[in-house]
Amino acid sequence: MAGTLSIEILKWNKTECVWNQIVSHNTGKTTYSACQLKADNKYVIYINGQKYKILKTDQKGYLKFDVNTKSDLSKIRIQLINK
């Protein structure tokens, strides 16, 4: 059974992006791509306040990652580490 995914963006800028992910059914893995971040910088990704992983943006400020959440509502945050 396919589920639906809704995104509620709470904050979005070059140093921090925060949004709520709302699913109607377990949708499995969701792949996110964030752009217009600071190029060649490390960002920490949090899921529901817990550190999930640290990734580095490419030369164009692009970041891609997968999320496999278990709950209907998840808060996702990307935050710049080295300012």
Angstrom distances, CA of residue 45 to CA of 3, 25, 56, 75: 24, 23, 11, 11
**Confidence label for 83 from pLDDT (cuts 50, 70 and 90):** low
The residue-averaged pLDDT of 72-77 equals: 89
Least confident stretch, 2-16, 17-31, 50-64: 17-31
17-40 tens-digit pLDDT: 999 998 876 667 888 999 999 999
Q: Output the pLDDT for position 51.
A: 96
